[in-house]
């Protein structure tokens, strides 16, 4: 792994880690026993999402005149791989936490079934992860000559759809909390809101950089 890749990943992860610790443990008072899965799950999901946004925005950003160094562009594959691993870890953590129902009460109705919020958030999250998995393996199919699949999964329309799925997953999950800034722990926006901000920045560069 290149030095630049390590630097970018480390900065994003440390930012996400600090944000998670301060927002949930320091300001919200979440018990330290919940760091290992509950808070760390939020940390890796935020870091993975930011890394994906960086990965997808670098190329288009250079096209519109942003001074993106070559070593940043050369780091995209490694950044994308680490982002995928972080999102995969988020999926595993979420499954473990979801089983108890104690951490995600808003995802369940009074009868124990999934609520509307839970159903739609999980559906969009699963679809977004499937796309990310396909995108990840598309780099391996390059060697097998599957040009049609590669062109489809890496197309601008496909990237936009995947981003919308992931953004929808976050939006449905955290939208209500965005509307009550007076209740934000320590004045810090929810992690879902920070992730959406990263997505919007990525979308801006993609829309500007991919215009004919």
pLDDT for position 101: 63
Residue 12's pLDDT band (cuts 50, 70, 90): very high
What's the whole-model pTM score?
0.88
pLDDT for position 139: 64
Max mean pLDDT range (70-74, 132-136, 160-164): 70-74
pLDDT for position 202: 86
Could you give phi then psi for residue 114, rounded to 5 degrees?
A: -70, 140
Taken in order 174, 175, 176, 181, the sign of the CA dihedral is: positive
Q: Say if residue 156's pLDDT is above 90.
A: no
What's the CA gap between 80 and 78, in Å, rounded? 5
Mean pLDDT value of segment 49-62: 89
132 versus 155: the higher-pLDDT residue is 132
Structure tokens at 139: 């780099």
Structure tokens at 25: 């443990």
Mean pLDDT value of segment 1-7: 91
Are 51 and 79 in contact, with CB atoms under 8 Å apart?
A: yes
Mean pLDDT value of segment 85-110: 81
Confirm or reject CATH 1.10.10 for domain 3-209, answering yes or no.
no
Residue 142's pLDDT band (cuts 50, 70, 90): low
Mean pLDDT value of segment 29-50: 94
Q: Say if residue 65's pLDDT is above 90.
A: no
Domain residue extents for the chain: 3-209
Could you give phi then psi for residue 16, rounded to 5 degrees?
A: -65, -40
pLDDT in tens, 20-37: 999 999 999 999 999 998
Average predicted confidence (pLDDT) for the chain: 86
**17: which residues sit within 8 A by CB, 6+ positions away?**
43, 47
């Amino acid at each position: 792994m290149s030095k630049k890749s390590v630097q970018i990943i480390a900065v994003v992860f440390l930012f996400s880690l600090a944000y998670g610790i301060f927002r949930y443990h320091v300001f919200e008072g979440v018990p330290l026993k919940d760091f290992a899965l509950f808070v760390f799950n939020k940390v890796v999901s935020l870091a993975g999402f930011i890394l994906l946004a960086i990965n997808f925005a670098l190329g288009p950003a250079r096209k519109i005149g942003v001074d993106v160094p070559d070593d940043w562009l050369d780091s995209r594959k490694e950044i994308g791989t680490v982002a995928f691993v972080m999102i995969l870890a988020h999926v595993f953590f979420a499954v473990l936490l979801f089983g108890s129902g104690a951490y995600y009460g808003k995802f369940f109705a009074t009868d124990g079934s999934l609520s509307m919020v839970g159903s739609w958030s999980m559906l969009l999250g699963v679809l977004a992860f499937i796309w990310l998995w396909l995108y990840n393996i598309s780099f391996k199919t390059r060697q097998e000559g599957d040009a049609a699949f590669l062109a489809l999964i890496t197309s601008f329309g496909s990237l936009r759809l995947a981003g919308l799925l992931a953004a929808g997953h976050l939006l449905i999950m955290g939208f209500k909390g965005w509307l009550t800034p007076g209740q934000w722990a320590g004045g810090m926006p929810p992690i879902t809101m920070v992730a959406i901000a990263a997505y919007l920045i990525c979308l801006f560069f993609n829309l500007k950089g991919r215009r004919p």
